[in-house]
Amino acid sequence: MPRAPGRISAGGAPDAADALVAALRAPATDHEVAESLTHPFHSYPARLHPATARVLVELVGAGGRGGGRGGPVIVDPFCGSGTTLVEIRAAGLRAIGVDLNPLAVLVARAKTWTVPARRRKALRDAGVENPIVCANVNKAGFRMSGGIEGYREAAAKYPARVIAMSVFASGGISPREAIEWVTGEPYVESIVFGASSRGNIESTVALIEEFDRQRATSKAL
């Protein structure tokens, strides 16, 4: 039996009240945010729903874009596993999170960590170029941190040999549709997939070879 949404009562300043109600109702209509960015990293109990966090960050951070040192800072004093912190950073704002739970702090740090620019530069200076990267890549954007466009932008800026995982989005995309799309992503070098039988392996490999040939033919024209 599906769960009925809880009752929401609002009062006070109408504009703020409407915005807060919209944030609380967002999870009922937005089923994609929770699978985006690093939100699926850990199933932290009783976390704030990512869709609610996104609406709240848009409300609080409106007009404050620009995460430079002089930009605005949003503080979450009970950050839990970092759901709000992830959305704050994705919005281009500076974030500070605090929590008493050591596990929450560990998860929040993992979800919001990015490679510092100086470290990326050090890797390039050391001759580490065009590295092999294994990542989720699929048409649905399922568990793709930063989303499809984020991957494309990153691949253009930091070339890498990408091995695509989760190409079927945990069964959410048909094999033909999934393989056709992923073989069309120019930054994907290889595909790794799980299979339950020899026939499944052979049919998936046949699809990869079919669309690889199509891509090679279109490049030759």
The tens digit of pLDDT for each residue in 48-90 reads: 999 999 999 988 877 555 555 556 789 999 999 999 999 998 8
The verdict on 99 and 122 lying in the same domain is no
Alpha helix segments (H runs only) across 12-94: 14-29, 50-60, 83-90
The share of the chain scoring above pLDDT 90, in percent, equals: 38
Spell out the residues 6+ positions from residue 83 whose beta carbon is closer than 8 angstroms to its own.
39, 44, 47, 48, 49, 50, 53
Q: Is the pLDDT of residue 1 over 50?
A: no
Tell me how many domains the chain contains: 2
φ, ψ dihedrals at 193, nearest 5°: -145, 155
Residue 155 located in a structural domain: yes
Chosen domain end from 85, 112, 139: 112
Within this chain, do residues 147 and 161 fall inside the same structural domain, yes or no? yes
The domain boundary, picked from 112, 135, 166, lies at 112
User: CA-to-CA distance for 80 and 57, rounded, in angstroms?
Assistant: 16
Range of the domain at 99: 14-112
Judgement on whether residues 62 and 135 belong to the same structural domain of the protein: no
Task: Give yes or no for a contact between 156 and 163, defined as CB atoms under 8 angstroms apart.
Answer: no
Domain shared by 121 and 197, yes or no: yes
Global pTM value: 0.61
Distance (Å, rounded) from C-alpha 75 to C-alpha 6?
27
Per cent of the chain over pLDDT 70 is 92
Integer-rounded Cα Rg, in Å, for the chain is: 21
pLDDT bracket for residue 206 (50, 70, 90): very high
Residue 170: is its pLDDT beyond 90? no
* Three-state helix/strand/coil letters over 91-130: CCCEEEECCCCHHHHHHHHHHHCCCCHHHHHHHHHCCCCC
Q: What is the mean pLDDT of residues 149-156?
A: 86
User: What's the whole-number average pLDDT of the chain?
Assistant: 85
180 shares a domain with 91? no
On whether residue 6 sits in a domain, the answer given is: no
